[in-house]
Amino acid sequence: MLREVTGVRYVTPLRTGGSVPGVVEADDLGTYVVKFTGSAQGRKALVAEVIVGELARALGLRFPELVLVHFDPEIAAHEPHQEVRDLLNASTGLNLGMDYLPGAKDFTPEVSKTFPVDPLEAGRIIWLDALTANVDRTTHSSNLMVWPTFGIAPPRLWLIDHGAALVFHHRWNTSAPDKTYDFRHHALGHYAPDTRAADAELAPRVTDELLREVTAEVPDAWLADDPGFATPDEVRAAYVDYLSARVKASATWLPTDFPSREELAAENVLRAAKTQRGRPDWLKQVPDLHGKPAAEQDGSVHFG
């Protein structure tokens, strides 16, 4: 089960993420990026973080340790911004913390030009994202970190931020387990990802037993209000059934077609040109943030 810790010092909010997580020191002397139950994304985002993160770890992918953080807003009484205080006051009790990676940097499009990623590792990460319907690991928002090991070993890729995964749990009755998603613009798509080898390796390991172990990590309170289910265990069983069926249907949704760097660049130029044509003259000097060149992308650390 996930370890439980108690927050003892609120360090700072991380405004680069839509959910405004915060850096919190805990009574185990650890430092964590905490996602709060009071955020606009709601508790389903935390459920997705736990299920996908623990599944990633079980499959051998690098993912920071998750802990359950008991949080008292009083430790953040010094926070000057009212909207952040409102979030913290709405998050009394149990929240989710991810081990803070000191010195880690965003895996940006600019970094990806020189950072080596093995095709099989790229394939494994894309396979996990396709299995769990994670729609938020794109060329513009990778939710990947590069963490240096200070000379001990080469820097490695670490996965973070899976709150946007498991999109099916927002509408259980309208998403088939064999549904395909557009992964052509995945952050690792231009590394010649070997998704077929990843499927052959990982699919047999995602058993019902493993899925039951992973879903058991989710606190009951985060599952109790899911409409259509009488108990938290019924919700857990629904996750197990859906993901188990999705694994068996991998031949249908397995992504294999990815554009090259050159094709991505051409698409960005075309999109920027279309955007400019559709703007009035007075707006044509406003940059297109989605289509801007990789060299101009923000390189700050992101925790969604």
Domain limits, the chain: 3-99, 105-253, 261-289
pLDDT of residue 265: 75
Torsion of the alpha carbons at 105, 263, 165 and 99, rounded to the nearest 10: -10
In angstroms, the CA 222 to CA 42 distance is 9
Sign (positive/negative) of CA torsion 291, 158, 246, 49?
A: negative
Kindly tell me if the per-residue pLDDT of 163 is higher than 90: yes
The per-residue pLDDT for range 204-248, each reduced to its tens digit, is 999 999 999 999 999 999 999 888 899 999 999 999 999 999 999
Q: What is the pLDDT of residue 17?
A: 66
> Residue 279: pLDDT above 90?
no
In whole angstroms, how far apart are CA 244 and each of 99, 180, 197, 209, 237? 29, 16, 19, 10, 10
Percent of the chain's residues with pLDDT above 90:
73
Strand partners, 95: 69
pTM, two decimals, is 0.87
Q: How far apart are CA 290 and CA 113, in angstroms?
A: 19
Residue 300 pLDDT greater than 50, yes or no: no
Average model confidence (pLDDT) across the chain? 89
Cβ contacts of 262-269, under 8 Å, gap ≥ 24: 264/139, 264/185, 264/190, 268/293
Q: Give the residue among 97, 179, 166 at the shortest CA–CA distance from 129.
A: 166
Average pLDDT (5-17) is 91
